């Protein structure tokens, strides 16, 4: 998502083709620049920005001041680029299709079209471990964790099963769409259980490490390997130190023996 748009910054999207519909997601309260690539259409007499094909937000006409819809007074600015507009402080009600259309004596033609979706920030998320079922035997070690990923208005649960240090999620990943259009997801990454609540503009994450709840997985192969490497380093360093110091000790003993003789 990305799982995602740079938070808190101005969103600026340019249409690739005059007739292409560009999809844009904007964080609630942010601004949005709607650009028009063709800033000098031939033989035009008006250029309109429409909202949902009906309401005219702003009208450009040659040698005339720009005309704004009364409801957008103070909410629309005009960047340097001709016919482009900046929508300020967008709210959920501003979601919809914005179309720039040029009118000429030959007819009407769209210059740019944007499908804008305004989303509020998602709520924080919390991952809790509901139960742990751990069994250690000579033949195999197993540990089952049942967890719940919760937000302010929704939650999902899942069970993770580990056998001989190999873990899997029963039923696979379980993403769920909330009523606000956000995604709530539980999944396994290495030895951690990840819970993410996200939409196109914000996200929150919580996680739990399996080793913290399954003691038999603590100090596993990774830790043993690290300990082994550490011991090898100590041995190599000690041997090297002895080799370097031995000549000095030998010379010192010889000098002492000569003096004594």
CATH 2.60.40.10 in the chain is located at 11-119
Residue 5, pLDDT score: 32
Residue 241, pLDDT score: 53
Q: To 5 degrees, how large is the angle CA 22–CA 26–CA 32?
A: 75
Bridge partners, 47 (sequence order): 60, 102
Q: To 5 degrees, how large is the angle CA 47–CA 119–CA 78?
A: 30
Residue 258, pLDDT score: 54
Residue 17, pLDDT score: 41
Bridge partners, 189 (sequence order): 192
**Rounded distance, CA 48 to CA 112, Å?**
11
Residue 23, pLDDT score: 95
3-class state of residue 188 by DSSP:
strand
Is residue 127 within 8 Å of residue 149, measured between CB atoms?
yes
Residue 243, pLDDT score: 61
Q: What is the DSSP letter of 239?
A: H
Regions in the chain scoring below 50 on pLDDT: 1-18, 219-230, 232, 251, 261
In the sheet that holds 32-34, the strands lie side by side as: 11-13, 32-34, 85-87, 76-77
Pick 11-119's CATH classification: 3.40.50.10420, 3.30.1340.30, 1.10.8.870, 2.60.40.10: 2.60.40.10
């Amino acid at each position: 998502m990305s799982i995602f748009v740079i938070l808190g910054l101005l969103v600026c999207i340019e249409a690739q083709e005059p007739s292409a519909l560009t999809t844009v997601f904007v964080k609630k309260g942010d601004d949005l620049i709607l650009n028009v690539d063709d800033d000098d259409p031939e033989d035009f007499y008006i250029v309109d920005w429409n909202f949902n094909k009906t309401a005219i937000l702003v009208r450009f006409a040659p040698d005339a001041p720009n005309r704004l819809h009364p409801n957008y007074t103070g909410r629309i600015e005009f960047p340097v680029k001709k016919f482009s507009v900046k929508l300020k402080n967008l709210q959920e009600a501003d979601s919809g299709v914005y179309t720039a259309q040029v009118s000429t004596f030959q007819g009407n033609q769209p210059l740019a079209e944007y499908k804008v979706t305004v989303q509020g920030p998602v709520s924080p998320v919390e991952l809790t471990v509901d139960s742990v079922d751990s069994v250690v035997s000579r033949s195999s070690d197993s540990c089952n964790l049942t967890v719940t990923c919760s937000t302010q208005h929704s939650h999902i649960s899942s069970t993770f099963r580990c056998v001989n240090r190999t873990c899997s999620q029963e039923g696979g990943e379980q993403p769920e769409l909330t009523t606000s259009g956000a995604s709530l997801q539980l999944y396994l990454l290495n030895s951690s259980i990840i819970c993410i609540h996200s939409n196109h503009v914000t996200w929150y994450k919580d996680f739990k490490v399996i080793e913290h709840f399954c003691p038999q997985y603590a100090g596993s192969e990774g830790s043993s390997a690290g300990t082994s490497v550490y011991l090898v380093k100590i041995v190599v360093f000690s041997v090297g130190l002895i080799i370097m110091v031995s000549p000095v000790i030998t010379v010192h003993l010889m000098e002492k023996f000569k003096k004594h003789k």
